[in-house]
Structure 1
């Protein structure tokens, strides 16, 4: 099926979900042609990989070996880096954000601001959003004022300092924190993790 058709991605997703339905969210996750198999130890991992490969073979699906990575504790997946500790941003994307130049037009910050949504908590988004809206009040030509540069710097900092997302553990205490403003609502899920013999509330999901 050519991917140029409107319903092609959804059709293929339904197909691959059917092929791997026995293992989804148990030993693997899949998004279109991106498959991630995971296990707690090496012996289980080898068996899980065999099961996934066997399921793909049953549906006459083939893998390109040059695009595969096996037996690793760290992997780049759908724009994120995943390791044994959790999920964080791809360093290459962080580098690209750090190289952003200051805005030259007034609407640049307004265009960039929505990109923060998956990265920051409601409280911080609100503080940054106020700075961005303030720059939009200034009449053209767009000045590189102190307020504007601070807003742009805050956007870059929000991207490059996004915290590690820990893996959810149903056996650990959990807490949901929410925040709202006149134009946005946000929430985070945290759980208690032990680090150096001390308990800390760490971020699990936005």
Structure 2
């Protein structure tokens, strides 16, 4: 008879992936050992291998999981049948918030994906391309001439440039937080510099009450 999984299997697996993402983000994939991952998770190395075959599978699961969540956001917003500009603004907002809550996973995706084996690497790239294509299609809906001018993809990549690297400089306890930055990105993209208005001051949150996922760098 097949061995049944414990009720806590999925929770433990997600915990392992989160801890591994934090280590990879801070130390780099090559500088992190499975012993360190096991210690961070509070499990034995043997237990860790019950959930993950090896370190390369850990990396693949982190990267593919992050891209999968981004694809799910695209599908969720697309299902709302909103006007094109409103849909693109909402996509920008959802992606900024997702990156804010998955900074470790995003750093792993941007810095360590090159260490994936070819098959896993291709799966991640395919997912990223689908996300970019969805943004580009929405952008063309807003301004159809961009497709004829072959500017839809370059402008989409410029937009992702604003979103993707925000985690490298935006401080969780700074004057602006991700909640305030999302509409700024959309306004700057759609209207240029003259369309940007100052957001309301972000509420100050005592550092002791900030969720670990928001402070992880």
For Structure 1 versus Structure 2, the TM-score category normalised by the shorter chain is 0.3 to 0.5
TM-score scaled by structure 1? Answer: 0.34
Going by fraction, where is helix more abundant, 1 or 2? Answer: 2
Greater length-normalized contact order (CA 8 Å, ≥ 6 residues apart): 2
